[in-house]
Amino acid sequence: MTVVTGVTCPVCGSFCDDIELVVKDNVITDVRNACAMGAAKFLNYATHRNLRPLVRKNGELVEASIDEAVKRAAEILVDATYPILYGWSNTSCEAIRVGVELTEEVGGVIDNTSTVCHGPSVLSVQDVGIASCTLGQLRHRADLIFYWASNPWSAHPRHIERYTMFSEGRFQKSTWRGYLSRLRGLVSKKRLQRAANLVLRRDVFAAPEVEHRLPYSMFQKKRKMVVVDVRKTRTAEAADYFLQVEPNKDYELLQAFRMLIRDEELDVDKVAGVPVEILEEVADIMVGCDLGVLFFGLGLTMSEGKLRNVDAALNLTRDLNNRTKFLIMPMRGHFNVTGADVVFTWQTGYPYAIDFSHGYPRYNPGETSVIDILCRNEADASLIIASDPVAHFPRKAAQNLVKNPLIAIDPEVTPTTLMADVVFPSAFVGIETEGTAYRMDHVPLPLKKIVDPPKTCLPDQEILQRILNKVRKLRRNQN
Amino acid sequence: MPKLKFSLLTGRTIDQGKGKEMGKLSKEYLESVIICQIDPKDMRSLGIKENTNVKVTTDFGSVVLRAVKSARAPHPKVVFIPYGPWASLIMNPKTHGTGMPSLKGIPAEVESAPNKKVLSLQNLLAQFHKEERP
Amino acid sequence: MDIAVKDGKIVEKVDERKAEVVDASGMIVMPGGVDIHCHIAGAEVNSGRLLRPEDHVKDVEVKTALTRSGVGYSIPSTFTTGYRYSRMGYTTVMNPSMPPLEARHTHEELDDTPMVDKASYPLLGDWWFVLEHLRDGLVEECAAHVAWIMNATKGYAIKIVNPGGLEAWGFGGNVRNVDDPVPYFNITPREIIRGLCKVNKLLNLPHTIHVHTNNLGKPGNYITALDTMKCVEDLAEGTHPVIHVTHSQFSAFKGSDWRTMSSGAEEIAKYVNHHNHVTLDMGQVIFTDTTTMTADGPFQYGLYQLTGNKWVNHDVETETSSGIVPFRYKRKSAVHATQWSIGLELALLIQNPWKLCMTTDHPNAGPFTAYPRIITWLMSQMARKKTMMKISKRARRNSLLPTIDREYGFYEIAIVTRAGQAKILGLKQKGHLGVGADADVAVYNVNPELVDPSRKYKAVRKAFKKAAYTIKDGEVVVKDGQIVKPVYGKTFWLDVKTSLPMEINDDLKQKFREYWTIEYENYAIPESFLHVSSPISIKAEV
């Protein structure tokens, strides 16, 4: 039995690297320090996995040798006119580098999950720039933390304890105790409300009266958290203040803050459902902080306005830097999606949606992004690695993906592998094979190999390299 | 059956997050993604009982899911479905030239459907056709 | 004269019957180019690449049978960077800014930069351990920590940027001069520079401290540059340099504001001519649309305020910061044209070419592909005059260039583009063609006996743009400006051996968690991470 320390968790963008694993006979038996998702991964990754390469024959997926699968995959890519190679977010940078080389070789399009996630944030950054930092800067210095359209409690469970409110920094202290007492207060308040409901038959879910002033605690000189969202998430419950914004109205709210930061007056009473008096007070707090940070999530990139919402948030941060120190960071969710963007950028100059069909990298999201390519029905083959588009793409795109030859590289059985024509079982990065990956703030971290993979499960970069070698061979024979 | 106009949100939940790490075919995952979280007040207006089925329709399709009371209320006229194969059936693929489909803030209609069944994953995937190849 | 190459090294002679012969008659043969300061890899460079798709779209490289595709212009993708340097006859490039926490990223990108040998300098001037140890006068402790971090990040030299200013920028501030104390740390930039200079000596590092001065880009900052050079004057021993002031053009401004800004090159050159402890590199401005990127967060913020352009800021916990702003240098701008003049004035007024390196601080003052053009400005007064005719009248009036008729010869060019650079870096096997040197050779198609570079500068520029031959480790890799053999160079790093135990004890490991958000064991980069690792063993005095 061994204890492996300093393990980097390969689940979300928080990249907690203080995980400890207890390993016995090549099996992980215990996980310490991980959140629910991390623990679920380390303890359950081995169920529901692909163990053998599969090839579709007569409509059915049957077991095949690795060489046969490689040959079939290479043939699919070489025969295709406009293949797409998509995914990349759950694998290592080493594998991603081979992926770019493969896409360049077959003249296809390479895209990663940013395209359905923080792609619009990237587009906005390319227009405005971004005032950001590494997470440690916030742990040490941030006294005002905004989570806007983002719910770390569900998607990045240890974010708050490792980097913001409940973390200890050189200049700022953890607010854990304050939160606990507030939580106790909240729980007893809910209990009383439920009791009152039973006794008085009053509707306990009546919408609370809209407040026109911030609670007193917001004006105290201490570390504060504000959550802006369309519904009161668990993160919002832990916040010092929750700003409920109407759906699809984040843009108006951000622009209103920009005006207030610039000492302009608002002509209306409410913006996005929030009274202007509240906005004015929040703006004062923003300007008066030592160092503020705005974390934003998919609520901004996916709702109406998309990149324009992020535009407004980035510009708000820029404007705030005229008055105080303020930073902004997108909450990247998928394990190594940041790494995929980073590798694509250094090798091709562009972060995602890269088209190699002309022999050099071309970038035009909206044209070269996979959802658009699929909806226009232009791709005639695909290689999907470390992601599950059949489960997560809108139906029309998923349908057009499935109807053409589909190569899937994944350690697990997923809706995508079930619909594929060639399936490669791979080793889990960060558990069965090592690699490098990037945290949401662009800090690179090493991933360890903890246990040995089954012999039939190769690391992603090896599978890709074999396909690449075969593709080159086939093309040489063709010429 | 009364219908109401809603704004549909899709997103992550901790259960869906845990479930996907256990495997996309695991019971935990499948249970976590076939739900639709509704504000209890809206449930009453529509006559929906908790844990019965509802039909959610957008311009792009419709899907039957199990209704649950949202613990995040109040958020009138907003429903939430976790990411997964069922949510994907009714998402908006239009990217408006940005590459990003519209996965939040989609106009939707919700109605009670206690006699309809939630599709099994197998039947859901059977709806995808492969092209005939020589 | 013949040069013999065997097994990647220059040797006395080889068997001519069996050897491959490269006929360089009528051409100039130099050691492969060495670039002491060019931002080509790492977090800040990559953010710059991301920021500028509009810069890439106008300059593409198509995939060939031997080369990967890519894009330029001011921040090329990694493969393109390597190919373009090699086509100009360069064989060694140094990436000068590496945030230690993100060193892994720098090395990943360097590994994907083909054709050249490379190294990188970790940014240490605002590292909390440096600030605290030097504040408490613990120079030897500081040295032991610097040795550790040099090994951990696989670095090559101590890089200092706006010392103290980057820590102040953590809360949005800056330092105003070398004696302005850093908030919360009670130490001045002067003390940081002196302290690290002493550390550099104790550790016997091959290069000196590499310094980007405080107050960069501010009118009147030539005083700060002089203060920076003066503050380590007493630490010099003999004629060895103890400080390298980088992209000195940006630190040679006179005047009190942009209206009165003028050249301080004369004062800087005078000082450098009379002191042997300083070396410089130019940071020559090119009139083009480029991208500025430095670790100087507050300076970059100032540039954003000046231009209103898009702005990227990236502060790194416990260590440093960075900023990126696109920037266009215009001929008709009096300030930009004066900056252009300053770079050349420095190069022409500093008498000893071994003290100066030709750079553009790529991409800050211009892309490295403009080096051939700078060579013509250095070699030909006529070329300088031609450019001067198109610049702002005020800058032309105030420029010293019309009064300078010095013209560099080919030998001096070889010094400022390779021999001197290698010597300043302490790279003993580079920058010369003596026996034992690495066989990195560049052959340029210009005959020094027939061509007068002062008049035929266009032919000189053409020759240096596309090397007739580039030889890397004894193999012909470029012919007539085309890649004929893709190779991957080595990554140099310092393996500093201190006599004190290098193990950082548990107490410090515990401190690690207080200071950073990653674990101690995940910080250091193992040697196996580098594709081709080339450690240089150093024995320290501590």
Residue with tokens 């006229």: B77
DSSP C235: G
For residues B55 and A445, is the Cβ–Cβ distance under 8 A?
A: no
Query: Which of B7, B10, B13, B24 should one mutate to test binding to chain A, selecting the residue with the greatest count of A CBs within 10 A?
Result: B24
DSSP-H helix ranges across C88-238:
103-111, 128-135, 139-153, 165-169, 189-202, 222-230
- Best residue in A392, A413, A422, A431 to probe B by mutation, most B CBs within 10 Å? A392
Return the ∠ at Cα C164 (arms to C162 and C165), rounded to 5°.
55
Whether B130 and A248 lie within 8 Å, measured CB to CB = no
Which among A122, A137, A341 is the nearest to C170, CB-wise?
A137
Q: 3-state SS string over C62-124? A: CCCCCCCCEECCCCCCHHHHHHHHHHCCEEEEEEEEECHHHHHHHHHHHHCCCCCEEEEEEEC
With beta carbons less than 8 A apart as the criterion, state whether B32 and B82 touch.
yes
The values of phi and psi at residue C9, to 5°, are -130, 160
B26 Cβ under 8 Å from any chain A Cβ: yes
Determine whether the interchain pair A137/C315 forms a contact, defined as Cβ–Cβ distance below 8 Å. Answer: yes
- pLDDT of C437 > 50? The answer is yes
Whether B100 and A375 have beta carbons less than 8 Å apart is answered as no
Contact C518 A17 (CB under 8 A): yes
How many beta-carbon pairs under 8 angstroms link A with B?
A: 192
Assess whether pLDDT exceeds 80 at residue B91: yes
Q: Which of C50, C170, C304 sits opposite A141 (nearest CB)?
A: C170
> Coil, helix or strand for A164?
coil
Q: Which residue of B has its CA nearest to A12?
A: B17
Tens digits of pLDDT across chain A (479 residues): 999 999 999 999 999 999 999 999 999 999 999 999 999 999 999 888 989 999 999 999 999 999 999 999 999 999 999 999 999 999 999 999 999 999 999 999 999 999 999 999 999 999 999 999 999 999 999 999 999 999 999 889 999 999 999 999 999 999 988 888 888 887 888 888 888 878 877 665 555 555 667 888 888 888 999 999 998 898 998 899 999 999 889 999 999 999 999 999 999 999 999 999 999 999 999 999 999 999 999 989 888 888 999 999 999 999 999 999 999 999 998 899 999 999 999 999 999 999 999 999 999 999 999 999 999 999 999 999 999 999 999 999 999 999 999 999 999 999 999 999 999 999 999 999 999 999 999 999 999 999 999 999 999 999 999 999 999 999 999 88
Q: In which order are the strands placed within the sheet that holds A131-133?
A: A131-133, C312-315, C323-328, C289-294
Instruction: Residue A249: list chain B partners with CB under 8 A.
Output: none
Please tell me whether residue C332 adopts helix, strand or coil conformation: coil
Tell me the C-alpha distance between A221 and A240, whole Å. 13
pTM: 0.95
**Listed residue (A435, A439, A418, A417) closest to A427, CA to CA:** A435
- Note the pLDDT of residue A220: 87
Cβ neighbours of A378 (radius 10 Å): 14
B105 within 8 A of B134, measured Cβ to Cβ? no
pLDDT in tens, B107-119: 999 999 999 999 9
Are A360 and C519 an interchain contact pair (Cβ–Cβ within 8 Å)?
A: no
The answer to whether A153 contacts B98, with C-beta atoms less than 8 Å apart, is no
User: Cβ contact (<8 Å) for A398 and B105?
Assistant: no
* A349/C184 touch (CB, cutoff 8 Å), yes or no: no
pLDDT in tens, C140-154: 989 999 999 999 999
Question: Which residues does chain A have within 8 Å of residue B31's beta carbon, measured at their own beta carbons?
Answer: none
C193-248 confidence digits (pLDDT tens): 999 999 999 999 999 999 999 999 999 999 999 999 999 999 998 889 999 999 99
Q: If you count them, how many residues does chain C have?
A: 542
Residue B53 contacts residue B67 (beta carbons within 8 Å): yes
Report yes or no: B128 at the A interface, CB cutoff 8 Å: yes
Instruction: Inspect the interface and report whether the beta carbons of B24 and A415 lie closer than 8 Å.
Output: yes
Rounded to whole angstroms, how far apart are CA atoms B121 and A268?
49
Distances (CA, A) of A354 to A105, A115, A148, A469: 13, 11, 29, 22
- Cα(A421)–Cα(A55) distance, rounded to whole angstroms? 6
Rounded average pLDDT over B127-133 = 73
- Distance between A418 CA and the closest CA of chain C, angstroms: 35
DSSP letter (8 states) at residue C525: P
At a CB cut-off of 8 Å and minimum separation 6, what does C416 contact?
C347, C353, C356, C357, C358, C378, C408
Contact (CB<8Å) A419/B18: no
pLDDT band at C423 (very low <50, low <70, confident <90, very high): very high
Q: For C65, which residue in chain A has the nearest alpha carbon?
A: A105
> Does C306 contact chain A (CB < 8 Å)?
no
pLDDT tens-digit series, residues C55-85: 999 999 999 999 999 999 999 999 999 999 9
Q: How far apart are CA C211 and CA C97, in angstroms?
A: 11
Cβ distance A443 to C101 less than 8 Å, yes or no, reads yes
Give contacts of C46 with chain A, Cβ < 8 Å: 342, 345-346
Averaged pLDDT for residues C259-278: 97
Distances in Å between the alpha carbon of A96 and those of A103, A435, C480? Answer: 10, 11, 34
Give C69's contacts in chain A (Cβ within 8 Å).
104, 348, 356, 359-361
What is the per-residue pLDDT across C439-498, written as a single tens digit (0 to 9) for each?
A: 999 999 999 999 999 999 999 999 999 999 999 999 999 999 999 999 999 999 999 998
- What is residue A231's predicted lDDT score, i.e. its pLDDT? 87
Q: Does B101 touch chain A (CB under 8 A)?
A: yes
pLDDT at A204: 56
Instruction: Give the three-state DSSP class for A469.
Output: helix
pLDDT at C465: 97
Pairing relation of β-strands C28-31 and C33-35? unpaired
pLDDT, position B134: 47
Contact status of C322 with chain A (Cβ, < 8 Å): no
Give the span between the Cα atoms of C222 and C263, in whole angstroms: 9
pLDDT per position as a tens digit, C7-60:
999 999 999 898 999 999 999 999 999 999 999 999 999 999 999 999 999 999
B60 close contact with A: CB closer than 8 A: yes
How many Å apart are CA C24 and CA C3, to the nearest integer? Answer: 10
Query: The tokens 């900056």 sit on which residue?
Result: C339
Tokens of C395: 């800058």
Do B67 and B97 touch, CB atoms closer than 8 A? no
Residues B33-47 have a mean pLDDT of 93
Under 8 Å between Cβ of C231 and C190: yes
- Inter-residue contact A110 to A383 (CB < 8 Å): no
**Cα–Cα distance between A141 and A171 in angstroms, integer?**
5
Nearest Cβ partner of B104 from A12, A151, A299? A299
Sheet holding A224-229, edge to edge: A241-244, A224-229, A144-148, A291-296, A325-330
